[in-house]
Chains A and B, each alone.
Chain A
């Protein structure tokens, strides 16, 4: 998988995080580090830098001293109480006197799990350091934030993405023109993982990558049905719209948030007058907010569609 083949192995290869890297390097140099929290959007290098640090600090034995856990798959309090504690309380087998636990997507940990984590971080700080990673630091309880030094990652710029594309193109023998790079940047929203995936999908069709090819690949990723759902609901055919939406979500395995993000994008280029367009976008925002707080995503989406109807 290209996301792995082109995952940077040295600090110098990581793009776009110039402010953060020198400080991480100095931790490695001292063979010591505090608890760390990485916050920022997806695909900007949080996991990559955690892996690089572990490899630099522990050398060849890094896998014994490094535990990677994914909080969004294993987000209950049990994981913190069992897996994390078990790993944390045994000593490191290297001359470095601590181990590292990398806890990815911490924002999906439940509040109780975060509370459990907080004590664990303190009790075992002799034998274990944490690197926590999350998209939104606001979802992490204050006591945890106060125990970490926090690093904020920025999204990749057009230039960063361009360099990354060039790098892959050179190794894989692809031809990518400037316009295509721009298109990739816009679609990827500065997410390097998505850049690699788009390129790999394009390359499996044609080594010469053009804008139309990119859009073809991406439209396969974004089901067309969503536009249709939008059209049906604006014209007032609510029942058809919601049936199509439910079937599409099930068929493609989309979550409510996936859908609402895409609807919001489609609204921007939808054929309605500007005032109405803004109303629709506002409604998207309101519903996205409610989705996070509510319990049934589909009811929330229905509320959105019902409010798109003009008459």
Chain B
């Protein structure tokens, strides 16, 4: 049995992450009649729990789920055939029903012609809550649906949330595994819990122990080969096609940027390295603007500076073969966050005491730490444990 099924949540409280949005969803389904809008539109990345949340609410409350997803024909006739009649009929065996239109961003322009329109009239007439899901709700073809629906976002799950879920499954399956291995798996999943659980099942393959080497068999290897090809194109070539180097790999630009950043200093030296990093810095500048202004058009420029910018920075072609490495920076950041949590706790106390922010208290801490080390009265006064200070100074 697939673990993703075996351990799929039976209750909404078991769904991982995004608790606020999930409460909103529950609220919508229960108080459906009182809502201004007839449908709710859940969007978020793959494996963040969209479909899962709907099914678990249904399961917990004995509701029937009427689902059409991308595997069904979703033109006008198709939609009406599956759902059309039932929007007014009470369910035979359950208390009520939820109509789930999964993956609406997958509506095909030609094959599912009229689909959006059919859905809209369905929403207008339905006496049951309609839930739409999508990874990307912002395409213009979906705009009529967006207008008719309440939008909620499920965010990518954090490494820690994924880590905890995996850890839990390992305990239930009696698999012994080191934290490091699970951390690695959680990070590899890129916030997709379904993928993480599938990976875990793949590497465990009926063994009672998982070690780091087991992770090698994961499909990620194929992804890495693609990355290596792209990096070679950028680092070694200089042709115009380099601008498309990253389009061919199935990886988001942020992750590609980490790969380039990690391996660049192996290949480029001296002034070339300076120029190439300046290009990466410009790429990051555009990324910052995308984040802040949600101006996704800038992705084009981020991409151009990561590929062409880096590629054209070199004065001559590097000859030799390089063994590219995966970036370990994010992992290090994460470990440090765990390790130096104490420092944040101390900074919080300093901030409370000193009418200042935690951020500034951290800077203050640098100047005050000699006093904190030597002066017990001060520690008492701030209610800080000596042991905590010893650990961080």
Binding site for B on A (CB under 8 A): 1, 3-4, 7, 42, 47, 51, 68, 70-73, 104-105, 193-194, 197-198, 200-205, 217-218, 220-222, 236, 238-239, 242, 246, 250-253, 255, 258, 287, 290, 293-296, 298-300, 302-303, 305-309, 311
Determine which of A104, A250, A251 lies in contact with B333 in the assembled complex, contact meaning CB atoms within 8 Å.
A250
User: With A198-B367, A239-B265, A303-B280 in contact, do A294 and B270 touch (Cβ < 8 Å)?
Assistant: no
Measured between beta carbons, the chain B residues less than 8 angstroms from A204 are 370-371, 373-375, 378
- Cβ contact within 8 Å between A70 and B366: no
- Interchain CB contact under 8 A, B270 and A299: no
For the complex, give the distance between the alpha carbons of A258 and B353 in Å: 23
- With A73-B358, A105-B360 given, is the CB distance from A306 to B276 under 8 Å? yes
Chain A residues with Cβ below 8 Å from B353 are 1, 4
Q: Does chain A have a CB within 8 A of B386? A: no
- Contacting pair B369 A253 (CB below 8 A): no
Q: Does B92 contact A (CB under 8 A)?
A: no
Would A311 and B332 be within 8 Å (CB), given that A193-B364, A221-B366 are in contact?
A: no
User: Quick one: which of B360-382 are within 8 Å of A by CB?
Assistant: 360, 362-364, 366-371, 373-375, 378, 381-382
> When A197-B368, A303-B280 are in contact, do A294 and B375 touch as well, CB less than 8 Å?
no
Q: Can you list 14 A-B contacts with CB-CB less than 8 angstroms, sorted by A residue number?
A: A1-B382, A3-B354, A104-B357, A200-B375, A205-B374, A220-B369, A246-B329, A250-B333, A290-B281, A294-B287, A295-B287, A299-B284, A303-B277, A311-B271
Taking CB atoms, residues of chain B closer than 8 Å to A3 are 354, 364
Chain A residue with Cβ nearest B367: A197
Chain A residues within an 8 Å CB radius of B366: 220-222, 252
Besides A104-B356, A222-B366, 11 new A-B residue pairs in contact (Cβ under 8 A), listed by A number: A1-B353, A68-B355, A217-B370, A220-B366, A250-B333, A253-B343, A255-B359, A290-B282, A299-B284, A306-B276, A309-B273
Nearest residue in A to B369 (C-beta to C-beta)? A220
- Chain B positions 257-305 with a Cβ under 8 Å from a chain A Cβ: 257, 261, 265-266, 269-271, 273-274, 276-278, 280-282, 284-285, 287-291
Which of A42, A236, A303 is the one whose CB lies under 8 Å from B269? A236
B interface residue numbers (CB < 8 A to A): 257, 261, 265-266, 269-271, 273-274, 276-278, 280-282, 284-285, 287-291, 329, 332-333, 336, 340, 343, 350-351, 353-360, 362-364, 366-371, 373-375, 378, 381-382
Q: Is the CB of A105 within 8 A of B368?
A: no
Closest 9 CB pairs of A and B: A303-B281, A204-B374, A201-B370, A306-B277, A221-B366, A250-B336, A295-B288, A197-B367, A294-B288
User: When chains A and B are docked, how far (Å) is the Cα of A204 from the Cα of B393?
Assistant: 15
Please indicate the chain A residues that have their CB under 8 angstroms from the CB of B356 in the complex: 47, 70, 104, 193
A250 and B332 contact, CB distance less than 8 A = yes
Chain A hits for B373, CB < 8 A:
204
Q: Give the dominant DSSP class at B's interface.
A: helix
Residues of A within 8 A of B375 (CB): 200, 204
A201 to B359, Cβ gap below 8 A? no
Q: Which residues of A contact B360 (CB under 8 A)?
A: 42, 72, 105
Select one of B357, B368, B371 contacting A70, CB under 8 A: B357
CA of A311 to CA of B274 in the docked complex: distance in angstroms?
Answer: 10
Find chain B residues with CB under 8 A from A255 CB.
Answer: 359
Contacts of A295 in B (CB 8 A): 284, 287-288, 290-291
From residue B166, how far is it (CB to closest CB) to chain A in Å?
25
Chain B residues with CB below 8 A from A258, complex form: 363
Contact among B276, B369, B378 for A1, CB-based, below 8 A: B378
Contact status B265-A242, CB under 8 Å:
yes
Knowing A204-B374, A294-B285, A307-B274, say if A299 contacts B368 (CB, 8 Å).
Answer: no
* Set of chain B residues within 8 Å of A238, measured between Cβ atoms: 265, 273
Across the interface, B270 reaches (CB within 8 A) one of A4, A42, A205, A309, namely A309
A305 and B264 CA atoms in complex are apart in Å by 13
In the complex, residue of chain B having the shortest beta-carbon distance to the beta carbon of A194: B367
Q: A293 to B283, alpha carbons, bound, how many Å?
A: 11
A72 to B371, CA, bound (A): 26
B281 touches A299 (CB 8 A): yes
Tell whether, in the assembled complex, residue A307 and residue B354 are in contact, meaning their CB atoms are under 8 Å apart.
no
Please indicate which of the listed interface residues B261, B289, B351, B370 has the most CB atoms of chain A within 10 Å of its own CB. Answer: B370
| A299–B261 CB distance below 8 A | yes
What's the least CB distance linking B176 to chain A, in Å? 30
The reply to whether B274 and A299 form a contact with Cβ atoms under 8 Å apart is no
**Which of A258, A287, A299 lies at the interface centre, i.e. has the most chain B CB atoms within 10 A of its CB?**
A299
Give chain A nearest CB distance to B261 CB in angstroms: 6
Q: Which of chain A's residues have a CB closer than 8 A to the CB of B274?
A: 303, 306-309
Asked if residues B371 and A73 are in contact (CB atoms below 8 Å), the reply is no
Q: Report which of B343, B355, B363, B367 forms a contact with A217, defined as CB distance below 8 A.
A: B367
Contact status B278-A303, CB under 8 Å: yes
CA distance A104 to B359 in the complex (A): 12
Separation in Å of the B158 CB from the closest CB of chain A?
A: 18
Question: In the complex, what's the smallest C-beta–C-beta distance from A195 to chain B, in angstroms?
Answer: 9
| Residues of chain B contacted by A294 (CB below 8 angstroms) | 281, 284-285, 287-288
CB within 8 Å for A205 and B287 given contacts A104-B357, A246-B329, A258-B363: no
Partner of B354, one of A1, A72, A205, A222: A1
